[in-house]
Amino acid sequence: MLVFILNAGSSSLKYQLMNPVNKEVLAVGLCERIGIDGVLTHEFGNDQKLKFEVPMPTHKEAIELVLRTLTQGEGKVINSTDDIDAIGHRAVHGGEEFASSVMVTDKVIETMTKLIPLAPLHNPANIMGMQICQELMPTKPNVAVFDTAFHQTMPDYAFMYALPYEQYSKHGIRKYGFHGTSHFFVSNEARNMLDKKHNTRIIVCHLGNGSSVSAVLNGKCIDTSMGLTPVQGLMMGTRAGDVGAGAISYMMTQEGMTINETLDVMNKKSGILGISGKSSDLREVLEGMSAGDDRCRLAVEMVAYNIKKYVGSYVAALDGVDALCFTGGIGENSSLIREIVCSGLDGMGLILDPTKNNKRKSVARDIATNSSAARIFVIPTNEEYVIANDTYKVVTESKAK
């Protein structure tokens, strides 16, 4: 089965064409600056790459361009869209309504539309991608794969906020969590690497420009760091993470800011960028720290300290730990962040091997010492495979009914 994987953002569109049965990827690409001017990057074959500027007034033109690129010209990998069996869509927020991936129907789109206030930047783009694919390829099944679904196994005492209960019952205000496809993939890979499926206590650190930590007991999420929105939890590239309500209120008063202006600061001008004053890219901040920039040093130490605090709390929540996993751009590539996070965790049974940690490899590996009671894994994530595989399962099950 060939699955066309689509991740529609407000002004961008990521895509892949994959066979989830054998994990073969035929093409991967990105449309950027949709509605501005338009840039398409298309990778296929043996490290072949095309990049060109094409006007993309809307997402519809972007998807039409992608389908043409997949089926015509130099970047062709299939004969026609008839070769595509199904379309899998990344869907950011499914609320409490979706605990698993589902076939896209009018009812599903209606429900996702009602959830837009919980994800105003993401759900509209996700819905748009689904509707355009239904229009352009009306005979192809579409499947929605939700970022929030994996975290729906959290117990109520973990996902509730200590606000008046009516805020939950009336408005759905609670912790939902995100990066669910990544946390699912990595925790499942870790269970395989541990060579056991039962009685597993796994902590996953998905660390990138957006970051989150999850506690996974026997394959089920019992807690995660992100909340109602992705701004809660860890300090990230431009997001503030956990900040006390009193500090936010005081900042608003002192600066004369509206709630929207405040959210803009917390989402786009805080985190690594806000502390370092240099960049949201940790690689540049690490370079700054090496050059003696004290604010860059502070940003790096804050990032690692925040991760370590969540790891410690989740060891307590899981009543121990069998594996600590690092994934995402920072988690997979920054040996220094892994080193700082793991320092002092010996008492929890997590002992990092410095030599293994400093070896750069792009494969899943164990970087703990042989004597470590728990394992420390670096596992490259594969969210696109999760979307493709879920799409395959949903479509197959639908046909069998």
Active-site amino acid positions: 147
Q: Are 266 and 244 a contacting pair, CB within 8 Å? A: no
Q: Strands (DSSP E) along 177-286, which ranges?
A: 201-206, 212-217, 220-224
Phi-psi group of 292: left, alpha or beta (phi > 0 → left; psi -120 to 50 → alpha; rest → beta): left
Record the tokens describing residue 89, joined without a space: 């869509």
SS3 state of residue 114: helix
Distances from the Cα of 84 to the Cα of 102, 126, 133, 145, angstroms: 18, 20, 12, 18
50 forms beta bridges with 42
SS3 state of residue 172: coil
Place of tokens 């597993």: 200
In angstroms, the CA 53 to CA 40 distance is 6
In angstroms, the CA 385 to CA 91 distance is 15
Q: Indicate the burial class of 5 (C-beta count within 10 angstroms; 0-12, 13-18, 19 or more).
A: buried
Q: Are 178 and 92 a contacting pair, CB within 8 Å? A: yes
In angstroms, the CA 21 to CA 244 distance is 46
Q: Are 368 and 162 a contacting pair, CB within 8 Å? A: no
Helix residue ranges, H only, 207-270: 245-255, 259-268
In angstroms, the CA 283 to CA 208 distance is 11
CA angle 200, 203, 208 (to 5 degrees): 145
Alpha-carbon torsion (86, 392, 118, 34), positive or negative: negative
Give me the helix-helix angle, 106-114 and 123-136, nearest 10°: 160
- Could you give phi then psi for residue 354, rounded to 5 degrees? -60, -40
- Could you give phi then psi for residue 136, rounded to 5 degrees? -80, -30
